[in-house]
Structure 1
Amino acid sequence: MKKKKHSRIWVVVGIILLGIVAVGSIYSHFGGFGTGPCADETEFMQYADQVDNIKIPEKTKIVALGEASHGNVEFQQLKLSVFQNLVENAGIRAFALEGDYGGCEYVNRYIHGGEGTAEQAAAAIGFAIYRTDEMADLISYMRKYNETAKAGDDLRFYGFDMQNWSYNLQYLTEACKASGIDVTELKKLEDNDEADGGYDIEEQTRIIMEIKKELQESDAKDIKQADHLADTLLQNISLGKVIDSAVEGNALRDQRMAENVMWILSMEEQRGNACIFISGHNGHIERSGNYGTDNRVMGNILSDELGEGYFAIGTDFYKTNCNLPKSDGKRITHTFYSYDPLAKAAKKAGYDMCWLDFSKVPENSKLKEQITDHVSMGSLGEGYSAFFMSIFPQSYRISQSPEKLYDGMIFVKK
């Protein structure tokens, strides 16, 4: 009798799950799981513009470009097109990426005449999302620009993340050797395997702190960069300490990324450049995002620090075929729709891609209401769940006021 009872329970569970799938499939065709309402496309067209016509205010110190997903060709291409526009028309000379400082320093050396290929440089950044033709194209543009740039007018490539270990340690070791600092203990950390080797966290911290002290007392030529390499390693270690809460770990990472961006800005200001360009996920560059009480995202921190000096450009899609990682390590391309009335208006207005500067939209317009109110925008990270994303589209959408998050947005039809 027990076996029959258990069998019946699983039959009921199966029926319920099939019912959820069926309801979700039907619902997706009739409203809530569809593409949502649409802003007035005629009014939208009055204020929409080409992406090449993006203008930034004079007081801007940081231009931040977001991406609604990491896995799309168009958002990766925007890195180059927007940056190139800012190089040519706004005098910006620094590109900073949501990638590790050490790996991006490899790229920086390559664009200044280093050996290898653009593809190898892209791979050095460390994340699969950057091992793309589009990133190689950006790197190639920067290298070619530098080949004819005047002294001091060269482009530089930075990273403001700290999740990987190897290149930071490699370049710190090189800097110490050049200054005559003993690297015996530091080299033992090469077997660290991203902060999980023969040393515990406290010992790792001690070794790097002692190196920082010796660097400060030395006559190292590039002391600021060497010190920052050490700080990035310490940031990596500090993330390893946060094991109880993903929210706490995300908040700490964003705090450290904001600190790194401000360091990059200070380095460029010393070179006479008042503004830098940074690129990352929408969820990091938005100006009012948070992970809960007192846990702000990077863009929120930078906006609070710089005020009008922080200019945030968000992105969204109407439809996306997005490349995402699966649990088995392989990647899959899956189709998603946003529920964004602005993205839908851009599509209906006939734009493949367009720019909407929120400051250009009149206060008394219906469109102003749309960008002020909460709307449901697409937001895909490096995660994939066929069940939840198919049945619960809210899992890849965020409901926020576009105007509170960004100064303007780029909409991509597909």
Structure 2
Amino acid sequence: MITKRLLAATVITATLLFGGCTAAPTADFGPAEFGRYVTPLDDLALPAAVDGARLVGMGEATHGNTEFLAAKQAVFAELATEHGYRVFAIEGDFGGAAAVNAYVRDGSGSAQEAVSAIGFPIYRTRELVAQVEWIRDFNTRAKAGDKISFYGVDFQRYDRNKDGLASNLSALDPGFAKEAEEALAPLTDAKFRGLDDEQQRSAAAAARTVLDTLVAREQRYAETDRAAYDLARQYATIIWQGAEWRASGADSNLRDAFMADNVGWVLDREPGRRAFLSGHNGHVLTTPYTFTPTGALLRQRLGDDYYAIGTDVVNSTFTMAGVRGSSQASISNGAAKEWARLFGEKEPGFVDFASASADPAVAAFLREPRAMTNVGNEVVPGFQFLPFTYTITLAPAESYDALVFVADATPTTLLPPS
């Protein structure tokens, strides 16, 4: 009871102090002027900038809305069919995403099984299944060298990565494969939250030793099988990243730096092929805020070869899913109502900021800081009434190259328990 009263008092106090403090600049022009630069998602035309880019990253204001996944599907379908993009990378487990790649390229398993393998409960949705099935269908009609590949760039699971390491390392050095298996035994999906600080540091050190050994033996192993070595090394890297990140106390800077490295690995593995990166807004944007996100690091490394698309929403009822179960929450970002006015009848729609900035008034508006919706997996109960807790204030055209806007977003549909 005391806890509930304290939470209620905190919410009321914060509402009084900060409730009106979200940045919401208004434009001195209307939808007629702004609409010249907007294309509806159902008639999408992407700018020439994507043809010059190596990587397009697209965010989502929440992880649990149908409309954002539909928008990503619309953008990726256009990139794949009209602009030659052949790599799909997701903010999901590397080892789990390998199961998706096997399905979309070879038909192994089912789309539901493949999506479930990614490891994050929030991805176990009918919407992502539909996207994976679209990629699979595309590949059935594509030539052997023109199929889409699917990768994960996150590292928060162990089991499938350990399986991938064992499979590739056994072909190179069965003895060391056994040693690595024993060294990495404490790192499992079932127990990754159960290690104390000392155990976590010890496990991270063991994972680093396995990785360092692989690096030291590169010449020897690569002479036997370069492809197996490259995959074994990346699986070992992913395992170490997960252990090191947890040993750090889940440091956000470290996580996003590791994901940027993994995106780089994917691009190196797919030379000459353009890639699409699907993640949260907070990971794909190109400017630092409370930490340095993956997108900011990619912009430093790739320059204009990285094109970032953000998303925003006024009203969202979204799915929250985690290891403890699932539920729904609703939020409303009043600052996004100006987008709704400007997009008008072209909502949901897409706007390229460079094109829109040809109009000086629009350019100035897009560089004004404003509160944009920024929810990860969940909103703390009671805080859905505090917009400053689920928005981030930034200048859209400084943090993204484009925006997809949705006025009202509905929750994703989770797959039934397997």
What is the TM-score of this pair, normalised by structure 1?
A: 0.85
Whole-angstrom CA distance in 1 between matches of 2:358 and 2:141: 46
Whole-angstrom CA distance in 2 between matches of 1:377 and 1:290: 13
Q: 1:47 maps to what in 2?
A: 37
SS in 2 for 1:116: coil
SS in 1 for 2:295: helix
Q: Which amino acid aligns with 2:212?
A: M
Q: 1:216 to 1:16 in 2, by over 3 A?
A: closer
Whole-angstrom CA distance in 1 between matches of 2:383 and 2:124: 27
Post-superposition Cα deviations, 1:294-330, rounded to whole Å, max 9, x if no partner, equal: x521111110111111111111112111222489543
SS in 1 for 2:67: helix
Instruction: For structure 1, list consecutive stretches of 5 or more residues without a partner in the other structure.
Output: 1-9
Counting matched residue pairs gives: 388
Q: 1:207 to 1:17 in 2, by over 3 A?
A: closer
Whole-angstrom CA distance in 2 between matches of 1:326 and 1:115: 27
Say whether residues 1:394 and 2:393 are aligned partners. no
Say whether residues 1:267 and 2:269 are aligned partners. yes
Whole-angstrom CA distance in 2 between matches of 1:208 and 1:398: 37
Post-superposition Cα deviations, 1:323-368, rounded to whole Å, max 9, x if no partner, equal: 2248954322323335125423246x12330111111224553322
Q: What is the aligned counterpart of 1:408 among 374, 378, 402?
A: 402
Post-superposition Cα deviations, 1:176-201, rounded to whole Å, max 9, x if no partner, equal: 12234322222233452255479643
Whole-angstrom CA distance in 2 between matches of 1:19 and 1:193: 38
Higher relative contact order (CA 8 A, sep 6+): 2
Whole-angstrom CA distance in 1 between matches of 2:46 and 2:277: 15
Q: 1:179 to 1:401 in 2, by over 3 A?
A: same
Q: 1:227 maps to what in 2?
A: 233
Q: 1:372 to 1:138 in 2, by over 3 A?
A: same
Q: 2:414 maps to what in 1?
A: none
SS in 2 for 1:176: helix
Q: 2:279 maps to what in 1?
A: 280
Post-superposition Cα deviations, 1:234-266, rounded to whole Å, max 9, x if no partner, equal: 2112212212xx5xx100111111111111111
CA deviation after TM superposition for structure 1 residue 204, in Å: 3.3
In terms of mean alpha carbon deviation, does 116-125 or 33-42 score higher?
33-42
Q: What is the aligned counterpart of 2:310 among 311, 314, 331?
A: 314
CA deviation after TM superposition for structure 1 residue 205, in Å: 2.4
Whole-angstrom CA distance in 2 between matches of 1:376 and 1:151: 45
Q: Which amino acid aligns with 2:283?
A: H
Whole-angstrom CA distance in 2 between matches of 1:320 and 1:362: 28
CA deviation after TM superposition for structure 1 residue 387, in Å: 1.8
CA contact (8 A) 2:11 2:382 kept: no
SS in 1 for 2:174: coil
SS in 1 for 2:255: helix
SS in 2 for 1:112: helix
Whole-angstrom CA distance in 2 between matches of 1:170 and 1:328: 25
Say whether residues 1:330 and 2:330 are aligned partners. no
Instruction: For structure 2, list consecutive stretches of 5 or more residues without a partner in the other structure.
Output: 409-418
Q: What is the aligned counterpart of 2:115 among 103, 111, 122?
A: 122
Once the two structures are aligned, what percentage of the paired residues are identical?
Answer: 28
Q: 1:257 maps to what in 2?
A: 259
CA contact (8 A) 1:289 1:300 kept: yes
Whole-angstrom CA distance in 2 between matches of 1:135 and 1:81: 13
CA deviation after TM superposition for structure 1 residue 173, in Å: 0.2
SS in 1 for 2:108: coil
CA contact (8 A) 1:104 1:159 kept: yes
Say whether residues 1:350 and 2:342 are aligned partners. no
Say whether residues 1:66 and 2:59 are aligned partners. yes
Q: What is the aligned counterpart of 1:86 among 72, 75, 79?
A: 79
Q: 1:160 maps to what in 2?
A: 153
SS in 2 for 1:53: coil
SS in 2 for 1:93: strand
Whole-angstrom CA distance in 2 between matches of 1:301 and 1:164: 23
CA contact (8 A) 1:173 1:187 kept: yes
CA deviation after TM superposition for structure 1 residue 77, in Å: 1.7
Q: 2:416 maps to what in 1?
A: none
Q: Which amino acid aligns with 2:403?
A: M
SS in 2 for 1:126: coil
Q: 1:206 maps to what in 2?
A: 209
CA deviation after TM superposition for structure 1 residue 139, in Å: 1.1
Say whether residues 1:96 and 2:92 are aligned partners. no
Q: 1:110 to 1:78 in 2, by over 3 A?
A: same
Whole-angstrom CA distance in 1 between matches of 2:210 and 2:7: 56
CA contact (8 A) 1:323 1:334 kept: no
Whole-angstrom CA distance in 1 between matches of 2:99 and 2:68: 23
CA contact (8 A) 1:181 1:214 kept: no
Q: Which amino acid aligns with 1:258?
A: A
CA deviation after TM superposition for structure 1 residue 37, in Å: 5.8
